Structure 1
Amino acid sequence: MSLGLNTLTLYPIFKEVKNVEITEFSSYLDSLKPSYTIVQAISNIGFGLISDRFGRKPALNALLLGSGISMCLFGFNKNLTTFSLFCTLNSAFNCNRDIIKSMTVELSD
């Protein structure tokens, strides 16, 4: 599984964005945190329903593919708007942990 971006790993990565002054880091990160968690909460419900309908394995494959693509797009940008867009997109695909938990519970019964 890919390591999803979370708010703790954004601090060192955010310094690589070229068009942001050093004093503006905290304000941009503080505005990015709520969108990250809100999108992740909404996508958890959606991918939970997808995994119930189509199965755990296709849902995990889609999450892994989406997470990999969004992390690659996230890694190659230097603009603040695309940085926040791809970080939020990555949070949408970062709900594989919950599907794996339900998958292990089903296998252990």
Structure 2
Amino acid sequence: MNRKIFTALASAAAFAVVSLTPLAAQAEPLPTDCHHGYGWQTDYTWARCDKGAGSVRAIATCSNGRTKKTVYGPWKGIRVQSSAHCPDTYPKAVSHSYDIKR
């Protein structure tokens, strides 16, 4: 009888440890100390985060004078710059922003 109780408690403890693992992963800090702006040419924007953990990507709103299009740069790690380049059909970046993720 004691062996059955011990087995049940051991199984419950193992389940508790496994189910708490995603919560520990979520405790990782988001990127901070982020900066963004226009590139030295008017056809792209950039973004960079210098602290924390996770990734950042640049966002550019591009215009052809009549309509606008949003483009995204690649996800980059901390202290690495992401650039969002406007396509030839929407040659000018008219606003800049960024996204972050864990």
Q: Same fold (TM over 0.5)?
A: no
Compute the TM-score of the two structures, normalised by the length of structure 1: 0.27
Q: Going by fraction, where is strand more abundant, 1 or 2? A: 2
Question: Larger RCO: Structure 1 or Structure 2 (Cα < 8 Å, ≥ 6 residues apart)?
Answer: 1
> Who wins on radius of gyration, i.e. which is larger?
2
